[in-house]
Amino acid sequence: MIRPPASRAALFLAVAWTAAGCASYRLGPVSPAIPAGQAVEVGLFQNATPLPGLSESVNASIRRELQRDGTFALATGGDGDVLLTGSIDAYRRSPVSFQPRDILSVRDFEVELVTRVRAADKATGQVLIDRELTGRTTVRLGGDLASAERQALPLLAGDLAKQTVALLAEGEW
């Protein structure tokens, strides 16, 4: 079947346009600091806040997110290429909304977990990433603030873990 010149030109333009759109997309990591395929070992995050259990929750969430993401291997037993450590510097709670008939009683809080994340090459000790990240979530205050915050801790640590792994895989934006 012979196509008229106008339809061949339209087909050529469609193929060229599609190829140009795909040329800017990159599959896999784009971070120049840490190449793909490296094994990342997650060290303990130091907790500088008065709240107990934050380090364990953050570490477990980062490990889960590394496995879910799949860009890097999760190293265990000290066999990693990159050591990821950090510090939990602040835990902040800010009111977001109040009870409809009582403007002094908070209904929702935004909780923030401010951390400093460091990734270093284990062989050379060179710091690859050193950046402050903040995880956030909203907490609906039921009857007890402490239990509401405890229930929201996995969401808070999960948000921070997603940001951390994205920073490792994609670099700084």
CATH homologous superfamily of 36-170 equals: Lipoprotein like domain (3.30.160.150)
Residue 3 confidence (pLDDT): 55
pLDDT over threshold 70, residue 149:
yes
Instruction: Report domain extents, the chain.
Output: 36-170
20-62 per-position pLDDT tens digit: 555 444 455 456 678 777 899 999 999 999 988 899 999 999 9
- The per-residue DSSP string of 6-75 comes to HHHHHHHHHHHHHHHHHHT---S---SSS-TT-EEEEEEEEE-SS-TTHHHHHHHHHHHHHHHH-SSEEE
Collapsing DSSP states into helix, strand and coil, what is residue 148?
helix
Its pTM stands at 0.77
